[in-house]
């Protein structure tokens, strides 16, 4: 297939956790012989923050982990959709795109576009910013890929789309896999952005306070940490590492004994079954994970086996001690979580699901499923 993807960014993961999954999907599609083109706005906020804060050399570093990764920059004023979409079979438009672009692509599809057109939602804004999401004009789209059943159902119930499929995020196991351990730098690592104060209390209860009270050696990576957050980390003896390129997370996980997952409040309260990308990343890297409560309503994992669960801050302390003081239990949990990712939750699994959706949409199977001979010709 000729596949065109409109992303917020594939080059930058600064405050853009979806980049992991989006990169992995592109890599898997290309691996299967599909022709993939990515388009992103030249003034995207994630890429601008990355370059302004860390320099363009970070884009060169990305190539070491994703050789050949590339994008096409556009502006709303200059993009020529006739040229961009001329030979497309499938077009995916990520929800972090301008309303105007989403509408114009839909209109192009209605005015003779031969491709199938899907909207891809990987965020909680359908619940937390419903008015903004309702303004996306999906009239001429063939459907929505939603990263959880609750989001999928919302598109259908609100009449935003006629068709919608659940398409969870997953781990790109070509980059996220267990790295060899040569020794530990500390006890606990946490990778996550502070955000908009929607989990401040939870971060104190399940992360900062347990680390302080247990006297653990810990390091935290992420962006958008306000002054009060940095003070709390310093008071707990936690080292703050700032922004960490997503592709370096596996190397960091290998230097610590345990990590935790603290979901944002919208996911806990309004979006059961959606864990976000972080647990997929940690489990794929073979590090023991302890999670604060969230409802695994879609049975993606086996809580208690793939990861331990802490319902309170006190339970988090107990679970941390269990992992840190019992290497056999730590290995058992890590191994179980890793096996679950490899058997069910890789980008390859998600591309399998996407191919089935393409069949349902009526794309020719000869385009969807490329033969080994055709794939070899593509690679040459």
The DSSP code sequence of 94-118 is: ESSS-HHHHHHHHHHHHTT--SEEE
- What's the sign of the alpha-carbon dihedral 142, 145, 149, 151? negative
Calculated CA dihedral for residues 59, 64, 67, 68, nearest 10 degrees: 30
pLDDT for position 379? 59
Question: At residue 35, what are phi and psi to the nearest 5 degrees?
Answer: -95, 110
Tell which phi-psi region holds residue 36, choosing left (phi > 0), alpha (psi between -120 and 50) or beta. Answer: beta
Half-sphere exposure at residue 4, Cβ-oriented, CA atoms within 13 angstroms: 20
| DSSP per-residue letters across 147-190 | SSHHHHHHHHHTTS-S-EEE----B-TTTSSPPPPS--SEEEEE
d(CA 271, CA 127): 8
Alpha carbon dihedral 229, 320, 266, 171, in 10-degree steps, equals 110
Rounded to an integer, what distance in angstroms lies between the CA atom of residue 362 and that of residue 236? 56
Averaged pLDDT, 139-149 = 96
2-170+346-379 topology per CATH: Rossmann fold (3.40.50)
**Phi, then psi, of 116 in degrees rounded to 5:** -95, 140
All CATH 3.40.50.2000 domain ranges in the chain, comma separated: 186-343
Predicted pLDDT of residue 380: 56
Confidence bin at 195 (pLDDT 50/70/90)? confident
Convert the pLDDT of each residue in 84-127 to its tens digit.
999 999 999 999 999 999 999 999 999 999 999 999 999 888 88
d(CA 134, CA 144): 13
- CATH number of this structure's domain 186-343, picked from the four choices 1.10.3720.10, 3.40.50.2000, 2.60.120.1600, 3.40.50.620: 3.40.50.2000
In this predicted structure, the answer to whether residue 378 has a pLDDT above a threshold of 70 is: no
Q: Is 353 helix (H, G, I), strand (E, B) or coil?
A: helix
What is the pLDDT at residue 266? 75
CA-CA distances (angstroms) from residue 327 to 105, 184, 185, 258, 332? 53, 13, 16, 11, 9
Intervals of CATH 3.40.50.11930 along the chain: 2-170+346-379
Residue 375 has pLDDT above 90, yes or no: no
pTM across the whole model? 0.95
- Higher per-residue pLDDT: 268 or 238: 238
Query: How confident is residue 373, by pLDDT bands cut at 50, 70 and 90?
Result: low
User: For the chain, what is the mean pLDDT?
Assistant: 95
Q: CA dist 98 to 101, 132, 144, 380, Å?
A: 5, 11, 16, 37
């Amino acid at each position: 297939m000729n596949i065109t993807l409109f992303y917020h960014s594939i080059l930058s993961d600064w405050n853009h956790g979806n980049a992991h999954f989006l990169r992995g999907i592109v890599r898997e599609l290309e691996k299967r012989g599909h022709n993939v083109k990515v388009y992103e706005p030249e003034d995207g906020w994630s890429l601008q923050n990355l370059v302004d804060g860390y320099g363009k050399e970070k884009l060169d570093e990305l190539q070491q982990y994703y050789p050949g990764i590339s994008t096409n920059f556009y502006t709303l004023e200059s993009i020529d959709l006739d040229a961009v979409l001329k030979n497309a079979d499938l077009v995916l438009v990520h929800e972090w795109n301008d309303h105007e672009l989403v509408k114009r692509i839909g209109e192009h599809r209605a005015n003779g576009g031969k491709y199938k057109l899907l909207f891809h939602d990987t965020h909680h804004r359908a619940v937390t910013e419903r008015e903004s999401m309702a303004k996306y004009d999906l009239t001429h789209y063939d459907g929505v890929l939603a990263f959880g059943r609750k989001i999928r159902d919302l598109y259908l119930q609100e009449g935003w789309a006629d068709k919608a499929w659940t398409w969870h995020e997953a781990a790109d196991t070509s980059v996220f896999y267990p790295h060899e351990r040569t020794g530990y730098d500390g006890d606990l690592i946490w990778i996550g952005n502070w955000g908009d104060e929607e989990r401040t209390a939870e971060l104190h209860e399940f992360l900062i306070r347990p680390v302080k009270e247990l006297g653990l050696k810990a390091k935290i990576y992420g962006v958008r940490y306000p002054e009060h957050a940095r003070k709390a980390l310093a008071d707990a003896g936690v080292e703050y590492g700032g922004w960490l390129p997503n592709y370096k997370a596996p190397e960091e996980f290998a230097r610590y004994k345990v990590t935790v997952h603290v979901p944002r409040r919208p996911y806990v309260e309004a979006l059961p079954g959606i864990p976000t990308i972080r647990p997929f990343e940690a489990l794929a890297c073979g590090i023991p994970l302890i999670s604060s409560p969230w409802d695994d309503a879609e049975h993606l994992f086996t809580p208690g086996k793939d990861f331990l669960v802490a319902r309170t801050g006190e339970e988090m302390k107990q679970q941390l001690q269990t992992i840190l003081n019992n290497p056999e239990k730590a290995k058992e949990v890590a191994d179980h979580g890793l096996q679950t990712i490899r058997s069910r939750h890789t980008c390859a699994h998600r591309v399998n699901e996407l191919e089935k959706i393409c069949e349902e949409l009526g794309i020719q199977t000869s385009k969807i499923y490329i033969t080994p001979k055709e794939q070899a010709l593509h690679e040459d």
